[in-house]
Structure 1
Amino acid sequence: MDGSRRTKKTRLWRWRSNPLRRRDDVIDAWIVLAVGAVIAVGGTIVGLVTDNAAGEVFARQRAERHSVRAALLADIPRSVAGVGTTGDKVAARVRWTDRDGSVHTDKTLADTGLKAGSRIVVWTDSRGEITAKPPSPAKAAVEAGVLATGAALAFAGLAYGAGALARWRLDQRRIEQWGSEWDLVGPQWDHKTG
């Protein structure tokens, strides 16, 4: 029974009763424990904060941006290749009237093959400038989750790197100590037998 209790203590803290344990060995074990805790707790907090911030940005975009019907100012040929084209879309000038009655003209991507005067939907921001369509709540949730995961992984990588650097420095110090101790003990073992 006493042996099983001793084994459990050894498993919980492997350096507790080791006669060869050095101060640096204990520090090394604490670094591993601290890095694991920082990654678990800090990574979770960073992920949650990032998810919340991204969710707020996407919600603000949905609140500030609105769609308007705009009219094409020129025909768009069926096959257009060159600068300003993306797949089946091409940059075209459009005109629209904003909610306050002001008339705007700008460029946006429109489908090829449309005639002048055709109505298309464009998204504008609070200043009346053309902008991208805001993400839907589902797409925003996915994007916020991806950003949160990336931020948590980046934080975990930094914490792991800091821990690895600290442990590397401890290893260098242990090697130096072993070298200086060997310089003291080594000459005593230098005699030949036989």
Structure 2
Amino acid sequence: MAFRGPKVWLWRWRRNPLKRRADAVEAWVLLATWVLTVLAGVLAGLTTARTVEQGMARERVEWRPVVALLAEQAPGTSDARSRTTTAEQVWAKVRWSARDGSTHTGQARVHPGSGVGTPVTVWTDPQGRLVTRPATPSEARTRATLVGGLAGVCAAFVPFVAGRALRSRLESRRIDQWGYEWARFGPLWGGRMRGTG
């Protein structure tokens, strides 16, 4: 079992006659890794969150509710209870007119058993295509925070892994150097120890 003394904070930055150049390089690599990890994570997270929130704000401005009419009988049977919950809605073909007057058709969620010609509110983009209802400002903030956080973690992962790989390589090189120095000076040291006995 290897002996480990008490942990000394920032030992790579302290003056020490036994400190080698490799220790100083490793200290700078460690510092650069943490700085880049934090910067990459924060910048990517904030940029992504802002972009997502701006995109959703644009959707709230551009997407409009339109009254569409059922083009076919909706599957299922009409029930007063099912009209109160959206969980029991079914997909049916609807028809609506875009701002330019062109007619469009698509699938929308409607109450079961609704008849042909029943009005249904759908959301469309500026080109008249069906879209989902835009997110509210609070929903947009929550979604932007989640996506930004995920992007930040992913972006921070890259410099963190690169720094760990570089540090591992430096440590391997240092161990090889120790082995070389031990092979070179170990026999001299051992002979000196025998001579003093």
Scaled by the length of structure 1, the TM-score of the pair is: 0.81
Deviations 1:149-186 (A, max 9, x none): 11111122112111101100101110110111111123
Shift of 1:77: 3.0
Q: Tell me what 1:177 maps to.
A: 177
* Residue of structure 1 equivalent to 2:95: 95
Q: Which has the larger displacement, 128-137 or 11-20?
A: 11-20
Partner residue of 1:4? Answer: none
Work out the number of aligned pairs and report it: 179
Q: Structure 1 residue 87: deviation in Å?
A: 5.7
Higher mean displacement: 59-68 or 31-40: 31-40
**Does the CA contact (< 8 Å) of 2:12 and 2:24 recur in 1?**
no
2:20 pairs with one of 4, 19, 22 = 22
Instruction: Report which stretch shifted further, 184-193 or 120-129.
Output: 184-193
Whole-angstrom CA distance in 1 between matches of 2:13 and 2:145: 40
Unaligned runs of 5+ in 1: 1-9, 80-85
Unmatched 5+ residue regions in structure 2?
1-7, 78-85
Aligned to 2:188: 188
Does residue 157 of structure 2 align to residue 157 of structure 1?
A: yes
- Taking the aligned partners of 1:37 and 1:31, their CA distance within structure 2 comes to 10
Q: How does 1:1-194 map to 2 (within 5 A)?
A: 14-78=12-76, 88-189=88-189
Identical residues among aligned pairs (%): 39
Equivalent residue letter for 1:91: W
C-alpha deviation, 1:189, in angstroms: 4.9
